[in-house]
Structure 1
Amino acid sequence: MNAVSKNVVLCMLLVMTATACSSNSPNTAPSPKGGNNQTAETSAPENTADPEMEPEQGAKLMVWEAKEQLEYMKGVAADFEKKYGVPVTVEELAGGDQGGRLATDGPAKLAADVLTLPHDQISQAVKAGLLLPNDVFEEETKASMVETAVQASSYDGVLYGYPKSVETYALFYNKDLVPEAPKTWDDIIAFANTYNKPKENKFAIMWEFVGYYTYPFIGSFGGYIFGDGNSNPKDIGLNNEGTIKGFTFLQSLKKILPLNAGDITFDVKTQLFQEGKLAMNIDGPWSTGSFKDHVNFGVVPLPKGPDGEEMISFSGVKSYYVNSYTAYPVAARLFAHFASSKDNQLKNYKMTGAIPASIEAGESQEIKNDPITLGFFEQFQHSVPMPAISEINAVWEPLKAAFVSLWNDPGLDVKQTMDQTVKTIQSDLESK
């Protein structure tokens, strides 16, 4: 039992002996099963793990949802009300604005009871006391969701989120140019040697030279940005043996992509792929709409490294979270759990294209019959969440400068370059 669960149990015991939990903090535990319309500031459940727990009497919820998923969420809300008798109002709010609104409106009791956050925003929300842990459905969530999604929805060892959807990048390939999807970088190198014609802007493969897309050359070879799963900024792994090996391999690929890093932009590679000049493109699901009317393409996981390494990508995870100031912590938990179910994740996929975080949804026939989504889902299982701690902001620019320099000058010493990069990052972190 984790520390949060122990605290919940302690609070329940105190309530059962007529000793109230603190009334000066937001809700930290659900209200009693079938209890009156009251908050957990004055009471806690008889059994938070009760699978038959019921929402508070008179409960009503508000949920924030982005415009592109509004119709989907209205359907989920209607189904939830039908099952639990709790009316749910869905209010449109852009995904990028929900965290900020929670910070201002949560303590004022004006925020939604349930909202969606990308995983890199939860540390700030947790530190501000804005989120309730996913304690009631913790074990079920951990068992039913892809491990990376669970990891990304947790902070300091505590699970807060109810995973909703995932995203990462993978390998787009033009089926008319590359009939059989490449499985290794050796396959790509061999193809490039016969296909590349730089003077005609014909290239085998491209990716953007930013940290997000270049991480496979770090994590796949035993390197890392921060230690302890990207949570310990005192341990920087950008000059360890694995990163040096990965960046040395990166340098070797200049021979199949003879352009300077600054000439390889998102717009350039998108246009070349649309025109049928770029055979393979490392990109994410957000670009499928740009290609479907122009290219006969497929999507597969990133090619394996020279020693058979799975290429590890960065990923993002969106999850539902429960506002700690909700007046209905039981109903809100139930809704977050309900909305993140396998069936609702598949409904979200069908209506919006969102890639499920649920293991069963990912293995469903609907996904298996959609090779584009399946390619991203398979790559997601070889990914790590993008670092969520604020210290990552000291990394991006020095890291980009390092691999741009190493790419533009393949003769540059990798070890010396990365040692200097780590010193720059450490200096920046120490000054803050």
Structure 2
Amino acid sequence: MTMERRTVLKRIGGVGAAAALAGCSVQEQGSGGSDGEQAAGDGSGDGADGGTQQSGGTATAWYQLQDSEQPARQDAIRTFESETEFGVDGSDISDMEKKTTSAIPAGQGPEIFEWAHDWVGDYYQREFVVDQSDKLSVSLDQFTDAAASAVQFDDAVVGLPHSAETVTLIYNADVVDEAPETIDDMVAVMEEYHDPSSSQYGLSSPFVPYFTSGWIQAFGGYIFDPDRDPALGLDADEAIEGLQFALDTLRPYMPDDPTYEPQAATFSEGNAAFAVNGPWYLATLNQNDVNYEVATFPEIDGGEVTPYTGISMWYFADAMSESGADATAARNFVEWFATNEDHATRLAEEQGAIPVLDSLVGSDELPDHVRTYSQTVSQGVPMPTDPRMNKVWSPLENALIEAFNGDATAEGALTAAAEEIRSNWE
């Protein structure tokens, strides 16, 4: 949560090399990706030791996780099964968007699948997900307003939220003494450490939509906002200024491959001073024994870094409309997963997941890095659930990669992307 959504968005929405408010996941993705880091799953099962037929039915559950995220998911399934009469057959899926859009219409989809909230409107209108508001035994009042809003569309409740996410600054504590207060402070450190000939880089940050959204939207610009006129703001001067800022200020200190895995690996292998990444990434850093700290974005003159944020959620797929034993198992698992404080606390501690249960939000028991991500979430903007958003990710991803590689200017890349998106909408 590698994750497709996290490439384009992190899990957070879309297509492309992608596992958002406040998941991505997207994953990313990942194309928001949700918008890269994808665990190589083929949908054949992830060894969660679930799926044993139990008296209450067995839910088929799809998700897309990094290898480092798998143990907690497997433990969650086993715990749920041990405490209830239900079973869960969990499978890690390598391309959630492709799999869900092909399998669900063919009647071969799961009861539930996990992703960021940006698919809510699109999938509901396409009848890939269904309203379960009259069948739930938990109240949305248990969650933050942002999380409760994220799982609804046209008064339908199409899933339950379990955590919030966004991207923020991470630094290598063996290289950087303290979090930079300003962008100039950050640039000074990157300049000193950056030495590609020695495989050392100032910054590791996928140059894809979800991760780059904070810079594009830093100077009053916006990518897409259905409440504005025009709804698409990519080709406005403020958005172009934001992308140009990222190209001028950050691009010179990054590895030459803009996609998720190469960028993320550079920092997780100890070869970068800074990274921009989400809470899902912390499990990998912990696994690799990286000495890191999480910080809010530095101050920039004339603006504020405003990244996309997301809600990771379990969607109720069309198979839930059959209302059989397996659907009951799925609904019970999702309710348990979304409201279990012990599990939410574990994900916060191990993976930096930001709880959306009101009973845990702001708790002094949460790790420092979770509270830091929460701060960044508060300055970010939720990914839109409007169905048109799903046609934004891929053209924007292509535009960013072209600009990153020097094949287009910031203005040329965003203008072309905006034209393609408007054409796709028509």
| Consecutive unaligned residues in structure 1, runs of 5 or more | 1-58, 82-86
SS in 2 for 1:303: coil
Q: Tell me, in whole angstroms, the C-alpha distance in 1 between the residues paired with 2:270 and 2:105.
A: 47
Q: Tell me, in whole angstroms, the C-alpha distance in 2 between the residues paired with 1:403 and 1:98.
A: 26
In the alignment, which of 395, 398, 409 is matched to residue 392 of structure 2? 395
Aligned to 1:288: 282
In the alignment, which of 158, 161, 177 is matched to residue 159 of structure 2? 161
Alignment of 1:219-230 (within 5 A): 219-228=217-226
Q: Tell me, in whole angstroms, the C-alpha distance in 1 between the residues paired with 2:360 and 2:184.
A: 33
Q: Tell me, in whole angstroms, the C-alpha distance in 1 between the residues paired with 2:332 and 2:324.
A: 14
Q: Name the structure with the higher helix share.
A: 1
Alignment of 1:281-320 (within 5 A): 281-292=275-286, 293-307=288-302, 309-319=304-314
CA contact (8 A) 1:362 1:374 kept: no
Matched, 1:134 2:129: no
What's the offset of the Cα at 1:253? 0.6
Q: Tell me, in whole angstroms, the C-alpha distance in 2 between the residues paired with 1:133 and 1:379.
A: 32
Query: Could you tell me which amino acid in structure 1 is paired with residue 423 of structure 2?
Result: S
SS in 2 for 1:215: helix
Aligned to 2:190: 192
Query: Could you tell me which amino acid in structure 2 is paired with residue 196 of structure 1?
Result: H
CA contact (8 A) 1:63 1:89 kept: yes
Change in 2 beyond 3 A, CA 1:139/1:276: closer
CA contact (8 A) 1:130 1:325 kept: no
C-alpha RMSD of matched pairs (Å): 4.1
SS in 2 for 1:305: coil
Q: Percent identity?
A: 23
Q: Tell me, in whole angstroms, the C-alpha distance in 2 between the residues paired with 1:423 and 1:387.
A: 19
| Consecutive unaligned residues in structure 2, runs of 5 or more | 1-54, 64-69
Change in 2 beyond 3 A, CA 1:402/1:346: closer
Q: Tell me, in whole angstroms, the C-alpha distance in 2 between the residues paired with 1:64 and 1:196.
A: 47
Q: Tell me, in whole angstroms, the C-alpha distance in 2 between the residues paired with 1:117 and 1:276.
A: 29
What's the offset of the Cα at 1:217? 1.7
What's the offset of the Cα at 1:172? 1.9
Alignment of 1:12-411 (within 5 A): 60-65=56-61, 68=70, 69-79=73-83, 81=84, 87-94=85-92, 96=96, 103-105=105-107, 112=111, 116-122=114-120, 123-125=122-124, 127-128=126-127, 130-134=129-133, 140-141=139-140, 143-156=141-154, 158-228=156-226, 235-253=231-249, 257=252, 262-292=256-286, 293-307=288-302, 309-319=304-314, 321=316, 323-327=320-324, 336-341=334-339, 343=341, 345-346=343-344, 349=347, 353=351, 355=353, 356-367=355-366, 370-386=367-383, 391-392=388-389, 394-407=391-404
Change in 2 beyond 3 A, CA 1:229/1:330: farther
Query: Could you tell me which amino acid in structure 2 is paired with residue 190 of structure 1?
Result: A
- Cα-to-partner distance string for 1:42-85 (whole Å, 9 max, x where unaligned): xxxxxxxxxxxxxxxxx945333458324313423544x4xxxx
Q: Tell me, in whole angstroms, the C-alpha distance in 1 between the residues paired with 2:175 and 2:296.
A: 18
Change in 2 beyond 3 A, CA 1:111/1:175: closer
Q: Tell me, in whole angstroms, the C-alpha distance in 1 between the residues paired with 2:103 and 2:137.
A: 26
Query: Could you tell me which amino acid in structure 1 is paired with residue 163 of structure 2?
Result: S
Change in 2 beyond 3 A, CA 1:300/1:331: same
Q: Tell me, in whole angstroms, the C-alpha distance in 2 between the residues paired with 1:90 and 1:391.
A: 33
CA contact (8 A) 1:221 1:246 kept: yes
Change in 2 beyond 3 A, CA 1:364/1:222: same
Change in 2 beyond 3 A, CA 1:105/1:60: farther
SS in 1 for 2:226: helix
CA contact (8 A) 1:342 1:361 kept: no
SS in 1 for 2:359: helix
SS in 2 for 1:149: helix
- Cα-to-partner distance string for 1:332-388 (whole Å, 9 max, x where unaligned): 766644442152542652797472332432423442xx3344444443444445455
CA contact (8 A) 2:395 2:417 kept: yes
CA contact (8 A) 1:129 1:324 kept: no
User: Which structure has the bigger radius of gyration?
Assistant: 1
Q: Tell me, in whole angstroms, the C-alpha distance in 2 between the residues paired with 1:240 and 1:247.
A: 11
CA contact (8 A) 1:66 1:93 kept: yes
Change in 2 beyond 3 A, CA 1:101/1:61: farther
SS in 1 for 2:415: helix
Q: Tell me, in whole angstroms, the C-alpha distance in 2 between the residues paired with 1:149 and 1:194.
A: 41
CA contact (8 A) 2:203 2:273 kept: yes
CA contact (8 A) 1:315 1:383 kept: no
Q: Tell me, in whole angstroms, the C-alpha distance in 1 between the residues paired with 2:383 and 2:211.
A: 11
SS in 1 for 2:360: helix
CA contact (8 A) 2:210 2:307 kept: no
Q: Scaled by the length of structure 1, what TM-score is found?
A: 0.66
SS in 2 for 1:364: coil
CA contact (8 A) 2:190 2:202 kept: yes
What's the offset of the Cα at 1:394? 4.3
What's the offset of the Cα at 1:279? 0.3
Query: What count of residue pairs does the alignment treat as equivalent?
Result: 354
